[in-house]
Structure 1
Amino acid sequence: MMKPALTVILLISCSLIILLFTSSFGAAVSAAASKVPAIIVFGDSSVDSGNNNQISTLLKSNFRPYGRDFYGGRPTGRFSNGRIPPDFVSEKFGLKPYVPAFLDPWYNVTDFATGVCFASAGTGFDNATSNVLNVIPLWKQVEYYKIYQEALRANIGDTKSEYIIKEALYLISLGTNDFLENYYSFPSTRSRYTLEQYQDFLIDIAERFIKQIYDLGARKMSLTGLPPMGCLPLERATNLVDGKGGGCMNGYNEVALRFNAKLDGLVNRMNEEMEGIRVVFSDPYGVFLQMIRNPSSFGFEVSSVACCATGMFEMGYLCDELNPFTCRDANKYVFWDSFHPTQQTSRIIVEYLIQNSLHQFL
Structure 2
Amino acid sequence: MVPSVLICLCVCLCLCCSEANEQIPNNSSLPAVFAFGDSFADAGNNNFQATVVKANFPPYGKDFMGGKPTGRFTNGKTLADYIATKLGVKEYLPAYLDPSQQSEDMVTGVSFASAGSGFDPLTSEILNVFTLSDEIEMFKEYIVKLDGIVGEEEANHIISESLYLVSWSSNDWGISYTAVPIRKIQNDVEAYANFLVEKATEFIQELYKLGARKMVFFNTPLIGCFPAARTVAGGVLRKCGDKLNEEAKTFNKMLSRQIQFLDKNLPQSKLTVVDYLKIVEDIIEHHLQYGLEVVDRGCCGTGLLEVAILCNKLSPICPDDSKYLFWDSVHLTDRGYNIVSDHAMMMIFQP
Q: Same fold (TM over 0.5)?
A: yes
* Structure 2 match to 1:351: 342
Taking the TM superposition and a 5 Å limit, the aligned residue runs for 1:10-159 are 33-159=27-153
Superposed displacement of residue 229, structure 1? 0.5
Check whether the contact 1:169–1:222 (CA below 8 A) recurs between aligned residues: yes
Check whether the contact 2:82–2:341 (CA below 8 A) recurs between aligned residues: yes
**1:301 aligned residue (288, 293, 302):** 293
Deviations 1:47-72 (A, max 9, x none): 11110011110010001110001121
Stretch moving more, 183-192 or 116-125? 183-192
**Displacement over 6 Å in runs of 4+:** none
* Structure 2 match to 1:6: none
Q: Distance in 1 between matches of 2:96 and 2:235?
A: 42
Q: Distance in 1 between matches of 2:350 and 2:158?
A: 19
* Structure 1 match to 2:241: 249
Check whether the contact 1:291–1:298 (CA below 8 A) recurs between aligned residues: yes
Superposed displacement of residue 246, structure 1? 0.4
- The answer as to 2:215 corresponding to 1:224 is no
* Structure 2 match to 1:269: 261
Distance of aligned partners of 1:38 and 1:359 in 2 relative to their CA distance in 1, 3 Å threshold: farther
Output the amino acid matched with 1:338: S
Superposed displacement of residue 132, structure 1? 1.1
Give the structure-1-normalised TM-score: 0.88
SS in 1 for 2:295: coil
* Structure 1 match to 2:319: 328
- The answer as to 2:158 corresponding to 1:164 is yes
Output the amino acid matched with 1:306: G
Check whether the contact 1:48–1:119 (CA below 8 A) recurs between aligned residues: yes
Superposed displacement of residue 302, structure 1? 0.5
Superposed displacement of residue 251, structure 1? 1.1
Distance of aligned partners of 1:167 and 1:359 in 2 relative to their CA distance in 1, 3 Å threshold: farther
Taking the TM superposition and a 5 Å limit, the aligned residue runs for 1:169-208 are 169-208=163-202
Output the amino acid matched with 2:247: V
Superposed displacement of residue 358, structure 1? 3.7
Q: Distance in 2 between matches of 1:256 and 1:312?
A: 21
Check whether the contact 1:123–1:135 (CA below 8 A) recurs between aligned residues: yes
- The answer as to 2:208 corresponding to 1:214 is yes
Q: Distance in 1 between matches of 2:336 and 2:265?
A: 35
SS in 1 for 2:101: coil
SS in 2 for 1:166: helix
Larger relative CO (CA 8 A, sep 6+): 1 or 2? 2
Check whether the contact 1:62–1:76 (CA below 8 A) recurs between aligned residues: yes
Where do 5+ consecutive residues of structure 2 fail to align? 1-24
Deviations 1:125-173 (A, max 9, x none): 0110001110000001000000000000011101111110000100011
Superposed displacement of residue 290, structure 1? 2.0
SS in 2 for 1:221: strand
Give the structure-2-normalised TM-score: 0.90
Superposed displacement of residue 108, structure 1? 3.6
**2:271 aligned residue (269, 276, 279):** 279
Deviations 1:98-138 (A, max 9, x none): 00000111214431110110000000001100011100000
Output the amino acid matched with 1:75: P
Bigger CA radius of gyration: 1
Check whether the contact 1:95–1:114 (CA below 8 A) recurs between aligned residues: yes
Q: Distance in 2 between matches of 1:227 and 1:317?
A: 23
Deviations 1:189-225 (A, max 9, x none): 2121111111000000000100001000000110111
Q: Distance in 1 between matches of 2:45 and 2:26?
A: 31
- The answer as to 2:332 corresponding to 1:341 is yes
Superposed displacement of residue 241, structure 1? 3.9
Q: Distance in 2 between matches of 1:230 and 1:32?
A: 35
Superposed displacement of residue 188, structure 1? 2.9
Superposed displacement of residue 185, structure 1? 2.1
Identity %, equivalent residues: 38
Check whether the contact 2:62–2:68 (CA below 8 A) recurs between aligned residues: yes
Q: Distance in 2 between matches of 1:213 and 1:108?
A: 24
Superposed displacement of residue 292, structure 1? 1.8
Q: Distance in 2 between matches of 1:95 and 1:187?
A: 40
Output the amino acid matched with 1:303: V
